[in-house]
Amino acid sequence: MSLLPLCTIEKLTVSYHRATQPALNGISLSLFANRRLAIIGESGSGKSTLARRLAGLLPRDAISSGRIDWNSAPPRQGRDIGYVFQDPGASLNPVLTIGEQVAEGAVRHLGLSWKQGLAHARDLLEQVHLPHPSLLLKAYPHQLSGGQRQRVAIAAAISASPKILIADEATSALDTITQAAIASLLDSLVRENGMTLIFITHDIALASSLADDIAVLKSGRLVEWGEASTLLSDPTHSYTKTLIAAHLDLSTPPLIEGAR
Ligand code: ADP
């Protein structure tokens, strides 16, 4: 790949306190501006650990070694990388209004007043295609469906206009139709806002629909990494071949029309 990397990760190893094996073991790869990277692999393979390390969200007792070299200034925590978690019910605060939660990033990091922040939140709710955004500002998370809550979590994640958006199994807890809608939303948001997307999933069909590049993790090691179309049509590692054979029927239409 001859693109300019946003950051280069070299021999990254992460171990959690008291764990017998490192969660990540000597990972080297690059992240490219304005591209969509899917990180795939079985549960426990280290996908979230890699994303959390990039976002500065590892627990304090995790020990990390290796290098992450950013091409420009390193990202500021909470501002330059937006993070969307699997369960919006857990990531949204039940006692704060939707408006407060979506406005917070912009108020804290962009210097907006709360009044300006709420106007910004209203625009973001519209951008994530939620109906009646002005009314929603005053609503609470429990008043929304799972898919709507995930749209709110995405709006909150992009509130401070991050350069990178990480979606960590962000569609896994949703039904199939909502999953496709959220994946399509993420895709259009990163294109419209010029963001880099890191999309963590165990769903290869989703990765094939959404990703420009794919990194395959197995037991904390990077077994394969490259352009999605090449990797999926001509995988070199036996583990990738097994994953594809087990999960992806390439004859089925992509989840996002025209995206494969
Ligand atoms: P994935 O996202 O692929 O499911 P994770 O990065 O969550 O994988 O986990 C990788 C390994 O690290 C697993 O063995 C998991 O049990 C362990 N792990 C993850 N988070 C913690 C933590 N906070 N403390 C201890 N071990 C952890």
pLDDT tens digits for range 24-51: 999 999 999 999 999 999 999 999 999 9
Q: How far is the CA of 72 from the centre of ligand 1 (A)?
A: 29
> Cα(260)–Cα(44) distance, rounded to whole angstroms?
27
Mapped onto helix, strand or coil, the DSSP state of residue 228 is helix
Tokens of 90: 């857990």
Ligand 1 atom having least distance to the Cα of 50: 6
Atom of ligand 1 nearest to the CA of 24: 10
Sheet holding 196-201, edge to edge: 81-84, 164-168, 196-201, 36-40, 213-218, 221-227
Query: Which pLDDT belongs to residue 89?
Result: 82
- List all residues whose CB is within 6 A of at least one atom of ligand 1: 16, 19, 23, 41, 43-49, 59
Mean pLDDT of 123-136: 97
- State how far the Cα of 220 lies from the Cα of 235, in Å rounded to an integer: 19
pLDDT of residue 234: 94
Which residue matches tokens 């990494």? 225
pLDDT recorded at residue 260? 35
Question: Strand pairing partners for 70?
Answer: 7
How do residues 154-204 score in pLDDT, each as one tens digit? 999 999 999 999 999 999 888 989 999 999 999 999 999 999 999 999 888
Question: Which pairs from 60-64 meet CB under 8 Å and 24+ separation?
Answer: 61/16, 61/17, 62/14, 62/15, 62/16, 62/17, 62/23, 63/14, 63/15, 63/17, 64/12, 64/13, 64/14
Average pLDDT (86-114) is 95
* Average pLDDT rounded to a whole number, residues 2-28: 93
Q: Band of the pLDDT at 150, cuts 50, 70, 90? A: very high
Task: Name the pLDDT band for 225 (thresholds 50, 70, 90).
Answer: very high
For residue 21, give the ligand 1 atom closest to its CA.
Answer: 14
Atom of ligand 1 nearest to the CA of 202: 3
Confidence of residue 2 (pLDDT cuts 50, 70, 90): low
* Structure confidence at residue 248 as a pLDDT band (50, 70, 90): low
> What value does the mean pLDDT of the chain take?
92
Q: How far is the CA of 48 from the centre of ligand 1 (A)?
A: 7
Q: Which residues pair with 83 in a beta bridge?
A: 166
Strand 164-168 versus strand 196-201 pairing type: parallel
pLDDT of residue 84: 96
Nearest alpha-carbon partner for 95 in 24, 143, 28: 143
Lowest mean pLDDT among 54-63, 152-161, 230-239, 248-257: 248-257
Task: Please tell me the distance between residue 46's alpha carbon and the centre of ligand 1 in angstroms.
Answer: 6
For residue 122, pLDDT beyond 60: yes
List the Cα angle 195/199/205 in 5-degree steps. 125
Cα(47) to ligand 1 centroid in Å equals 8
Q: Quick one: tokens of 101?
A: 């939660």
What pLDDT shows up at residue 258? Answer: 42
What is the distance in A from the centroid of ligand 1 to the CA of 43? Answer: 9
Question: What spacing in Å lies between the alpha carbon of 224 and ligand 1's midpoint?
Answer: 20
Test site for ligand 1: of 49, 53, 203, most ligand atoms within 8 A of the Cβ: 49
Phi, psi of 220 (to 5 degrees): 80, 0
Separation of alpha carbons 185 and 152, rounded Å: 12
